[in-house]
Structure 1
Amino acid sequence: MERGKERPQHHASIEQEMLDLEIQTATEAPAIFKEAIRPVTLKFEDVVYKIKQKNSTKNEEKVILNGVSGLVQPGEILAMLGPSGSGKTTLLTALGGRLDGRLSGAITYNNKPFSNAMKRNTGFVTQDDFLYPHLTVTETLFYTALLRLPNTLSKAKKAMQAEAVIIQLELTKCKNSVVGGEFLRGVSGGERRRVSIGQELLVNPSLLFLDEPTSGLDSTTAQQIVSALWDLASGGRTIVMAIHQPSSRIFYMFHKVVLLSEGNCLYFGKVSEVMDYFSGIGYVPLVAMNPADFLLDLANGLAPDGSHENKSKVKQSLALAYKHNRLYNLKAQLQGEQLQETNSSHFQDGSEDKNFAKWPSTWWQQFSVLLRRGLKERRHESFSGSQINQVVAVALLAGLLWWQSNISHLQDRTGLLFFMSEFWGFFPLLQAIFTFPQERKMLEKERSSGTFMLSSYFISRIVADLPMELALPTLFVTITYWMAGLKPTAGHFFHTLLVLLLSVLVAQGMGLALGALVMDQKKAAVLASVLMVSFLLAGGFFVQHVPAFIAWIKYISIINYSYKLLLGSQYNENDTYPCDSGLCLVRDFPSIKHVGLSGQIGAAVALAIMLVGCRLIAYLALMRTGL
């Protein structure tokens, strides 16, 4: 889709809802958006983080952060500088309350530890923009508002809050454009970045963390992003960001900077004092240069005089100099910092956090919003022309190959039924295994923000997939059944259709379970292929004399049960067919005898158990990953 081009009118229900409020919003929304900024002073002292070495046999630990300290007050922007691997993102994640493991030191928010209430008033923008590509900017922010804003606000107020963010971040021109992604052209990179920031601003956060907010953007767009953040900070917010290599114009928009190198702090303090500090300890740039470039050179161990002094020695010298010259005063400031009392901030009073609602909305509200969002996003994928054409092509091909097959050609007819069970085992399973691996980053982002419960997401995801899962096999059966000349009665047709739909839902559940267990698309695809080939060979059509030591596979085979039920949809125990000796019982035909026409209820129950069991395994697997 072309950038800036609006979506068709029949896709614009939410946009219309927003437009109806726009006149009212233009005057009311900014007031709603700016009210009740609860000031937060962030302090961190002697923060240490260690991880175990993967290949170490002696349980050795690697130090990622080594005693980092600092102080950020309301209205300030703290920039974290350092080369890749210096610990910027780790420190940012720790300060944002999202880091588990061997973390030590003191991190406080208005002299209180991190809490559910503080989490609700914190925004965290990840380095990558994890957004749904087919949703418009307005839809993205509106759905986020419905999920993250509390029930004390009406739906109209939440819509106004979303519109306020659009105005604040200057996204009005692209509000009705799709966000886009890797395979879909949408808004620009800078606009996409502002949408990600806007999602966090919806909760009117007092504390905002950003990981590489200008990554991949040109210098002008990057400056626009930081300028918007500077305006937010001037409104009383506390902003902390990790940034790689800012321009000099951007650098001087920060209030404070922390310089990291291999987990050690080389400087913390005001931006206006940083060059004087390093000059005072003998590190002066020989030519006029961007201060950020100079600091990164120092963090990489490059001496400004261009000498070939050992890099590790330079880093150690800078770390020791910082400890001797500034760290003592900083710690004294941390210990003596007196927070101004406020009356409105419940997260400054730990006693009220016990009664703080963990979720901003009810389970049913979360489910309904996630379902609407999922249906709107995945309709492009589920009912894409390629998938519909694929199913129609296979249905027509099968119908032509088995065109009006004669009732005496029992081998052909059983072959068609087995093909149907096999195709609709593979197809939905291979589609479903990519579900959770593809959405993992998005799910991690929203779950870490406390947006919704895992169960509401899981159920809505399953329900949102039903239209495709039910419509495509229905289309297939409608075409193939009558072309192939299977029993021409409504009862037999709907019996066949219901069996196939049940089989499809079971296969989809197995795909969801495999994807959730492995969480790797390639590995899950390989595992699914091996599993389905095993089910195929043990399905009772190709091999009637399966060795006993491997015959157990048929009891967990989707294809085996669906094939048995499909046979039951066309034949019963007393049906006959023309044979060399006159009339023979269908049940004695080799490819049917092995599977059997009896036990139809047992096969249906087995599939029903697998339908529920596979989804339960998928849910437990997601819980295991910590989502």
Structure 2
Amino acid sequence: MFVMDQDIKDVECQTIYKESVHEEEEPDILHKGKRPVILKFDDVVYKIKTKKGGLFEKNTKSEEKVILKGVTGTVQPGEMLAMLGPSGSGKTTLLTALGGRLGGKLHGSITYNGEPFTNTMKRNTGFVTQDDVLYPHLTVTETLVFTALLRLPNTVTKEQKVKHAKDVLEQLGLTKCKDSIVGSTTLRGVSGGERKRVSIGQELLINPSLLFLDEPTSGLDSTTAQRIVSTLWELARGGRTVVMTIHQPSSRLYYLFHKVLLLAEGNTLYFGKGSEAIEYFSSIGYAPAMAMNPSDFLLDLANGIYTDGLNQDHVIDKQHLISTFKSKFDAQLKSINQEISDPEISQRRFQGTGSGKWPTSWSQQFFVLLRRDVKERKYEAFSALRISQVLVVALMSGLLWYKSDISHLQDQIGLLFFVSGFWGFFPLFQAIFTFPQELVMIEKERSSGMYRLSSYFMSRMVADLPMELILPTIFLLITYFMAGLKHNFASFLCTLLSLLLNVLVAQGLGLAIGAVVLNQKSAATLASVIMLCFLLAGGFYVQNVPGFIAWVKYISISYYTYQLFIVSQYHAGETYPCSSGQCQVSEFPSIKEMGFNFHGQALTAVALVVMMIGYRVIAYVALMRIGVTKKLA
């Protein structure tokens, strides 16, 4: 009865899919060149190196651990394969390998219609990660539209891309929440099931021939999980090849899977039709003792547990299950997966060879990413906490140095040095977390060939400019006039430009440290040490620095900014009241080492500009070395 109902449902879904394609009248390019993909994997082995021994032990050895141990299988268009197995069985590793996203010591053969994985294949492949990596402040519609603008080719107009994004939104039942922000664990947005459907929708925008999903039902209630897997089932029946990992599906979900791959410690215990799994294990002496969810029974076996007819648990030999499966199905699977055995082709299979063509131009990527960055980042850049912090410090500084004139020269230069220090630390620590927090997003989007690293990096730098420069400008407007600094436009403008240059250099340093270190705690510690060293060598605390360490000031942001601040407020020949009457400002101990010649100040500004550019170059080079970005930079 179930088989008959299943067949009827299959025919209905195929008809619905074909009709929907014609009714939507999507651009031909979305379907042109899309061909069904036969995924074959034969004797896939993956190894990693692990270190044995503690940090302070002398005999620390490097051992090789085998994660996948010769896994073989095939998935046809119109089929949905579910990979089952306990935690640590190698499900996600295999899925990542099949999706062309796994490097390292990967051996065996993985082909797509008999060909190795290429950039062209990558852009026709959807990959949904277990964790939903989405921008929290964007709405559901904005998320899908920005993805469509980046991933769909130039042959599709902007209007068609937006329409296609909205069609996918309706297809996945997201119409009710289309104007709601996605949200995160700390920001309330759409529900977990809706967030998962948004992630799936991002991949469906390219109408992928091959779709991979890692635990698509993780953390969802049974009804939501059923809805998502049913949607995937319909997508598969439309001619796509769907592969997913899933931990413990309900029986309703299990019977939607066309094929099941059961893994235990990297070994295959079963591969074949989901409806035939119980029959297979019964034939080798492991029949379920009662009516139960098939996935529960399979997971028990994968964990080495078998419950007999007396409801008693027995520990079974998993090696026996592995060898039995190999003897029964190994020859059959290998005959199915016969393919090109040229060693050179096999070697290139995991190197991402193929067309390097991008779906959109550099300028298109830049402007779309720029719009997205501004929409997302404005909430963080102008958060109430950040604005309040700047306003409180500005007002406090203005009150402490209220109407401090040149007769209080030491106080004035103390204010100038404080401003250089505060606006060295503040943007530095804001920028440090930029790339560590966005690393997962960068890897996700870059691995799908969405955009160039250079377009992402430049859009990020440009988007940050207005947001990073508005707050220091407001700070100076408040503090400058309250503190009684020179009330003329030229002095104020020079001070403001010096402050903004200081902010950009400090931000660049933060970006470089964050990109190089990538660990937020380590990066923050390193930045604190570096900035404190810069402050100590800034020329305010110590004027007579020993020669062997005096070089530190030449790499100090605080030293150059402080020097520009001094020149902005004072000039050669200016005097101030002192115990002997009137003294030269240029002879004041904290200023004497700076000098007032124009040539020296021009070099100071040039030094800061070189730092501003140099730190960003370091950050970009560091990003090129990160995981998947290294392959596509």
**Alpha carbons 2:263, 2:270 under 8 Å: kept:** yes
Aligned to 1:71: 74
Distance in 1, matches of 2:353 and 2:313, equals 58
Question: What is the CA distance between 1:580 and its match in structure 2?
Answer: 1.1
Aligned to 1:94: 97
Question: What is the CA distance between 1:32 and its match in structure 2?
Answer: 8.0
Aligned to 2:218: 215
> Of residues 46, 51, 68 in structure 2, which corresponds to 1:49?
46
| Higher mean C-alpha deviation, range 592-601 or range 216-225 | 592-601
- SS state of the match for residue 547, structure 2? coil
Distance in 2, matches of 1:27 and 1:267, equals 40
| Higher mean C-alpha deviation, range 117-126 or range 382-391 | 382-391
| Higher mean C-alpha deviation, range 320-329 or range 365-374 | 320-329
Matches within 5 A, 1:31-180: 37-55=34-52, 57-180=60-183
Question: What is the CA distance between 1:545 and its match in structure 2?
Answer: 2.3
Distance in 2, matches of 1:212 and 1:355, equals 29
CA deviations over 1:442-493 (Å, ceiling 9, x no partner): 0100010000000100010111111121101110111111111111100100
CA deviations over 1:389-408 (Å, ceiling 9, x no partner): 21111111111111111211
Question: What is the CA distance between 1:30 and its match in structure 2?
Answer: 9.7
C-alpha RMSD over aligned residues: 1.9
**Alpha carbons 1:37, 1:236 under 8 Å: kept:** no
Code of the residue aligned with 1:139 in structure 2: it is E
**Alpha carbons 1:564, 1:597 under 8 Å: kept:** no
Aligned pair in 2 of structure 1 residues 163, 104: CA closer, same or farther (>3 Å)?
Answer: same
Q: Does 1:434 align with 2:437?
A: no
**Alpha carbons 1:82, 1:244 under 8 Å: kept:** yes
Aligned to 2:57: none
- SS state of the match for residue 370, structure 1? helix
Distance in 1, matches of 2:186 and 2:485, equals 42
Code of the residue aligned with 2:522 in structure 1: it is K
Question: What is the CA distance between 1:597 and its match in structure 2?
Answer: 3.5
| Higher mean C-alpha deviation, range 295-304 or range 89-98 | 295-304
Code of the residue aligned with 2:139 in structure 1: it is T
Aligned to 1:610: 611
Code of the residue aligned with 2:272 in structure 1: it is G
Aligned to 1:625: 626
Distance in 1, matches of 2:26 and 2:157, equals 13
Distance in 2, matches of 1:89 and 1:355, equals 25
Aligned to 1:300: 303
Distance in 2, matches of 1:30 and 1:368, equals 23
Question: What is the CA distance between 1:596 and its match in structure 2?
Answer: 3.6
Aligned to 1:469: 468
Q: Does 1:189 align with 2:192?
A: yes
Matches within 5 A, 1:305-324: 305=308, 310=315, 314-324=317-327
Distance in 2, matches of 1:67 and 1:526, equals 44
Code of the residue aligned with 2:288 in structure 1: it is P
**Alpha carbons 2:51, 2:61 under 8 Å: kept:** no
- SS state of the match for residue 335, structure 1? coil
CA deviations over 1:41-88 (Å, ceiling 9, x no partner): 000000011111233755431110000000100000000001111000
Code of the residue aligned with 2:389 in structure 1: it is Q
Distance in 1, matches of 2:524 and 2:374, equals 25
Aligned to 1:377: 376
**Alpha carbons 1:33, 1:164 under 8 Å: kept:** no
| Higher mean C-alpha deviation, range 65-74 or range 49-58 | 49-58
Distance in 1, matches of 2:578 and 2:339, equals 99
> Of residues 197, 202, 217 in structure 2, which corresponds to 1:199?
202
Aligned to 2:56: none
Distance in 1, matches of 2:575 and 2:363, equals 53
- SS state of the match for residue 106, structure 1? strand
| Higher mean C-alpha deviation, range 252-261 or range 113-122 | 113-122
Distance in 2, matches of 1:364 and 1:406, equals 51
**Alpha carbons 2:307, 2:314 under 8 Å: kept:** no
Distance in 2, matches of 1:423 and 1:330, equals 66
Code of the residue aligned with 2:613 in structure 1: it is V
Q: Does 1:417 align with 2:416?
A: yes
**Alpha carbons 1:33, 1:161 under 8 Å: kept:** no
Distance in 1, matches of 2:566 and 2:23, equals 65
Question: What is the CA distance between 1:575 and its match in structure 2?
Answer: 1.2
Code of the residue aligned with 1:189 in structure 2: it is G
Aligned to 1:249: 252
**Alpha carbons 2:69, 2:266 under 8 Å: kept:** yes
Question: What is the CA distance between 1:508 and its match in structure 2?
Answer: 0.2
Distance in 1, matches of 2:467 and 2:235, equals 43
Aligned to 1:452: 451
Distance in 1, matches of 2:64 and 2:536, equals 49
**Alpha carbons 1:437, 1:519 under 8 Å: kept:** yes
Distance in 1, matches of 2:423 and 2:451, equals 33
Matches within 5 A, 1:193-592: 193-305=196-308, 310=315, 314-335=317-338, 356=355, 358-592=357-591
Distance in 2, matches of 1:175 and 1:258, equals 36
**Alpha carbons 2:118, 2:353 under 8 Å: kept:** no
**Alpha carbons 2:118, 2:354 under 8 Å: kept:** no
**Alpha carbons 2:27, 2:160 under 8 Å: kept:** no
**Alpha carbons 1:29, 1:163 under 8 Å: kept:** no
Question: What is the CA distance between 1:207 and its match in structure 2?
Answer: 0.2
Distance in 2, matches of 1:239 and 1:221, equals 19
Distance in 1, matches of 2:446 and 2:368, equals 15
- SS state of the match for residue 111, structure 2? strand
- SS state of the match for residue 66, structure 1? strand
Aligned to 1:16: none
Distance in 2, matches of 1:269 and 1:91, equals 17
Code of the residue aligned with 1:463 in structure 2: it is V
- SS state of the match for residue 409, structure 1? helix
CA deviations over 1:412-431 (Å, ceiling 9, x no partner): 00001001100110000010
Unpaired runs of 5+ residues, structure 1, are: 1-24, 338-349
Code of the residue aligned with 2:46 in structure 1: it is Y
Code of the residue aligned with 1:181 in structure 2: it is S
Distance in 2, matches of 1:31 and 1:460, equals 31
Code of the residue aligned with 1:562 in structure 2: it is T
Distance in 1, matches of 2:312 and 2:289, equals 12
Distance in 2, matches of 1:455 and 1:575, equals 48
| Higher mean C-alpha deviation, range 177-186 or range 431-440 | 177-186
Unpaired runs of 5+ residues, structure 2, are: 1-21, 54-59, 341-348
Aligned pair in 2 of structure 1 residues 33, 360: CA closer, same or farther (>3 Å)?
Answer: closer
Distance in 2, matches of 1:141 and 1:330, equals 39
**Alpha carbons 1:402, 1:483 under 8 Å: kept:** yes
**Alpha carbons 2:495, 2:565 under 8 Å: kept:** yes
- SS state of the match for residue 608, structure 1? helix
Distance in 2, matches of 1:412 and 1:335, equals 82
Distance in 2, matches of 1:549 and 1:33, equals 66
- SS state of the match for residue 63, structure 1? strand
Aligned pair in 2 of structure 1 residues 225, 31: CA closer, same or farther (>3 Å)?
Answer: farther
**Alpha carbons 2:128, 2:214 under 8 Å: kept:** yes
Question: What is the CA distance between 1:531 and its match in structure 2?
Answer: 1.0
The total of aligned residue pairs comes to 587
Code of the residue aligned with 1:491 in structure 2: it is A
Aligned to 2:15: none
**Alpha carbons 2:120, 2:354 under 8 Å: kept:** no
Distance in 1, matches of 2:31 and 2:192, equals 26
